[in-house]
Amino acid sequence: MENPNSEIIKNISAKGLRTTLIGILSNLILAVTKSTAGYLGNSYALIADGIESLSDVISSIIVYSGLKIAVRPPDDNHPYGHGKAEPLAASVVAIALIIAAVVIIIQSTAEIINPHHAPEPFTLIVLLGVIVVKESLFKFVFKVGDTIESTAVKTDAWHHRSDAITSAAAFVGIAIALIGGDGYESADDIAALAASGIIIFNAYRLLKPAVRDLMDHSPSEKVEINIRASAKSVEGVVALDKCKIRKMGFEYYVDLDVIVEGEISVRLGHQIAHNVKTVVRLENPRVANVLIHIEPDDDERIKRTEKL
């Protein structure tokens, strides 16, 4: 069944898609700029930074594809919709980030073993610009991801923050190499090595919530509180028992036990359940469906619900 608030979901998805496209374009420009400056300026840390930006482009394309798939309506083969594509995309992006960091570690280590010439001073100016751009992108993209509650978009935002970190590390390394002179040529490679560890740590932090979504981890307590409040407001509802919620992309699917008077007719019980479902979905636009189990109001159930 398609969510009656599907237009709201589509608008939410559109925000994520626009933000991701901005990230793709920005990363393409930065990848070319950093790689070229690194090659001309003899800085492997800057070249590694360019590679990281290129991986960001690929990752953002994956996020974009995941968001497009996630908003597709349910079909015969996917009765619960395609929402899992969103955390799946986030997982792929986090793993790609780890792989990119490992590549940088391997190549930085090789450069440390076989030192090269010191980087050119102009590379510092390039890195300063990169840091400003990437940190601004992080704040913008993360705010959108947090607003639309998208794990994939927030993961994409952290790619921008990781890029800013590697650029900052490269800046410090190159500055040390230039100031220190002979014997300090590998400082930018050591900086790239250190930044890779930070990238891996951030990738783990991004992978964790994505895996939770894939494993149907319960959403925030606030979501359940709002759903329970909506259900309790319906006439005929004596109490509520279990409330299970799982996130599917941008939507929630709810299993709810509703307690009613034990002596009412089946028809009235069905009507109450229908009313609960309608109210919950109207007051909570991201709820795609509510599966309701009606139970009679015996003492044992009432006592159990008082503890919830």
Q: What is the mean pLDDT of residues 285-300?
A: 86
Whole-number average pLDDT of the chain: 82
Q: What is the mean pLDDT of residues 119-126?
A: 84
Q: What is the mean pLDDT of residues 218-235?
A: 92
Compute the distance between CA of residue 253 and CA of residue 162 in angstroms, rounded to an integer. 33
Compute the distance between CA of residue 105 and CA of residue 16 in angstroms, rounded to an integer. 32
Residue 272 pLDDT > 70? yes
Q: How confident is the model at residue 3 (pLDDT cuts 50, 70, 90)?
A: low
Domains identified in the chain and CATH numbers: 6-214 (1.20.1510.10), 221-306 (3.30.70.1350)
Q: How confident is the model at residue 1 (pLDDT cuts 50, 70, 90)?
A: very low
For the ranges 55-69, 77-91, 207-221, 252-266, the maximum mean pLDDT occurs at 252-266
Residue 306 pLDDT > 60? no
Residue 5 pLDDT > 70? no
pTM above 0.85, yes or no: no
Give φ, ψ of 219 to 5 degrees: -70, -175
Query: Which 3-state string (H, E, C) describes the chain?
Result: CCCCCHHHHHHHHHHHHHHHHHHHHHHHHHHHHHHHHHHHCCCHHHHHHHHHHHHHHHHHHHHHHHHHHHCCCCCCCCCCCCCCHHHHHHHHHHHHHHHHHHHHHHHHHHHHHCCCCCCCCHHHHHHHHHHHHHHHHHHHHHHHHHHCCCHHHHHHHHHHHHHHHHHHHHHHHHHHHHHHCCCCCCHHHHHHHHHHHHHHHHHHHHHHHHHHHHCCCCCCHHHHHHHHHHHHCCCCCCEEEEEEEEEECCEEEEEEEEEECCCCCHHHHHHHHHHHHHHHHHHCCCEEEEEEEEEECCHHHHHHHHCC
Per residue in 240-268, pLDDT tens?
999 999 888 778 999 999 999 988 999 99
Q: How confident is the model at residue 227 (pLDDT cuts 50, 70, 90)?
A: very high
Q: What is the mean pLDDT of residues 116-132?
A: 82
